[in-house]
Amino acid sequence: MKKMVLTGLIAAMLATMLGMMGCSAVPNGHRAGAPSVALASEKPRVAAHELPGADLDALAEGNSAFAFDLYQLLAAERSGENLFYAPYSISLALAMTYAGARGETEEQMAEALRFELSQADLAAAFNALDQELARRGEGAEGRDEGGFRLNIANAIWGQEDVGFLTAYLDVLAENYGAGLRVLDFVGSPEGARVTINDWVSEQTEGRIEDLIPQGAIDPLTRLVLTNAIYFNAAWAEPFPVRATEDGPFTRLDRSQVSVPMMVQSTPFGYAEGEDFQAVQLYYDGHDMSMVILLPGEGQFQAFEEALDARRVQAIIEGLERREVALTMPKFELDASFGLKHALSALGMDQAFSDAADFSGMTGSRDLFISEVVHDAFVAVDEEGTEAAAATAVIMPTSAKPQEPVQVTVDRPFVFLIRDVRTGTVLFVGRVLDPSA
């Protein structure tokens, strides 16, 4: 099979591919980014209208299942802490890595990531979903004056003089819009790291900086695949700023903290059960929404431990429009993760070992994953939501008006930001202490 020779770097916020295990010292003072050369397959990206059979339902279901499989592991790992991450970014970065996996490595990744489609169908589905999401929020407002933004970008970075298979580069170009950028990992690992981090910062409007920490890239690095996602949207029904007042939020240990609490009474999607209340807040344009899952008092742990994609989907399907008197906190969260242990626990441990088979990338089994790093940020206030992450893989009724149901989010809760039409879960988080 033909190969394409590259020079330098493959940035993928999610996966750092190394030829061998090892780390070397990096000068602390060096911040100059290394110049990169862009190499791209000659294949153009396949347009959405050429993907009539793309199975978006299977992709969204699989991605959601992975999102909450990962939630359980990260929640346990960060016990007692706030949590926020972007499962879609992680899935997308690892999907580009998966495209080069073969044998048992490919099988383990498919099981862990809940990829149910064939390699070709999965790539086509990710391509179709990406182009579908790119159409969201046309003409809608942003949390700031910049208008609605949902920007998703991929980039791959490879070591110069490494031969990557043309077929692999074609898959990335046709389905992920990612050309190969080459850097000199061997001669300037720190410069390469800075270049990748600068790209991530630019794609996330400065919200995600220093995604890849010092030492994660060394002279043995051969490939990095990155995904960045940035979201900025205004609420369809903004909270009145004048109504925001400090109020108590009860932590898991029953202690209380005073935080700014936003208030409004308006029709929202609402559902309830024996152990929860759920509210759906639309963003301007009604293409995207936030769903808040509020466990009953004293029931957070049991609710969280039982939380999976099926439970979330059932709750969302049970939402009905109802007048809601909603009180919830303003909050801002950020988090950084090394996902190697969590992904290994999900079953894809071979990808992180010398036994890894990524021969679909270079034709030989000379690459493995050393780490998957992930950073995420979210800010929620009266105007709307701003969120960013990177991985380096209404109807009027004539019925009698109801009394508004009271939803006071004054205790730990789970939330997610999702695409309404496809059901794709972009971000997931929990707030145990909005003052942290």
Torsion sign across C-alpha atoms 292, 293, 299, 300: negative
- Six token digits for residue 133: 């999401």
Please report how many Cα atoms fall inside a 13 Å half-sphere around the Cα of residue 63, on the Cβ side: 29
Asked if 395 and 321 touch (Cβ cutoff 8 Å), the reply is yes
Q: Three-state DSSP class for 143?
A: coil
Separation CA 386–CA 63 (nearest Å): 22
DSSP SS3 for 123: helix
- The confidence score (pLDDT) of residue 339 equals 94
Reference 205, options 157, 158, 142; nearest CA is: 142
C-alpha 83/C-alpha 91 separation (Å) is 18
Question: Which pLDDT value is given to residue 1?
Answer: 44
Q: What is the reported pLDDT for 354?
A: 86
Strands 276-282 and 425-431, bridge-based pairing: unpaired
Look up residue 378 and give its amino acid. Answer: V
Residue type, 348: M
Residues 394/315, Cβ–Cβ less than 8 Å: no
Instruction: Note down pLDDT in tens along the chain; length 436 residues.
Output: 444 433 333 333 333 333 333 332 223 333 456 555 666 667 888 887 777 777 889 999 999 999 999 999 999 999 999 999 999 999 999 999 999 999 999 999 999 999 999 999 999 999 999 999 999 988 889 898 889 999 999 999 888 877 888 999 999 999 998 888 888 888 898 999 999 999 999 999 999 999 999 988 888 888 899 999 999 999 999 999 999 999 999 999 999 999 999 999 999 999 999 999 999 999 999 999 999 999 999 999 999 999 999 999 999 999 999 999 999 999 999 999 999 999 999 999 999 998 899 999 888 888 899 999 999 999 999 999 999 999 997 112 334 455 778 878 878 878 888 888 888 888 888 888 888 7
Helices and strands per DSSP (H, E), number in the chain: 10, 20
Residues pairing with 417 in the sheet: 290, 427
Amino acid at 277: Q
Q: d(Cα 149, Cα 218) in Å, to the nearest integer?
A: 34
> Any long-range contacts for 24-33 (C-beta under 8 Å, 24+ apart)?
24/189, 24/215, 24/218, 24/219, 25/215, 26/189, 26/190, 26/193, 26/214, 26/215, 26/218, 27/190, 28/214, 30/190, 30/191, 30/194, 31/194, 32/191, 32/194, 33/191, 33/194, 33/195, 33/198
316: helix, coil or strand? helix
* Sign of the four-CA dihedral 76, 80, 81, 84: positive
Structure confidence at residue 210 (pLDDT): 92
Nearest-angstrom CA–CA distance, 220 and 107:
26
Query: Strand pairing partners for 265?
Result: 325
344, amino acid identity = S
Interacting residues of 334 by C-beta distance below 8 A, sequence separation 6+: 84, 375, 376, 377, 378
In order of start, what are the domains of the chain with their CATH numbers? 3-234+334-376 (3.30.497.10), 241-330+394-431 (2.30.39.10)
Distance CA 71, CA 346 (A): 11
The CA distance from 131 to 134, in Å, is 5
Structure tokens that stand for 49 in this block: 């209208």
Residue 427: predicted pLDDT: 82
pLDDT score at 37: 60
Which of 416, 392, 419 lies closest to 92 in space, CA to CA?
Answer: 392
Exposure string for 366-377, b = 16+ CB within 10 A, e = fewer: bbbbbbbbbbbb
Q: What is the DSSP letter of 322?
A: E
CB atoms inside a 10 Å sphere around CB 333:
20
Tell me the residue type at 80. Answer: G
Q: How far is CA 152 from the centre of its chain?
A: 10
State pTM to two decimals. 0.85
Residue that has been written with the tokens 């007048």 in this structure: 323
Answer for the pair 422, 82: CB distance below 8 angstroms, yes or no. Answer: no
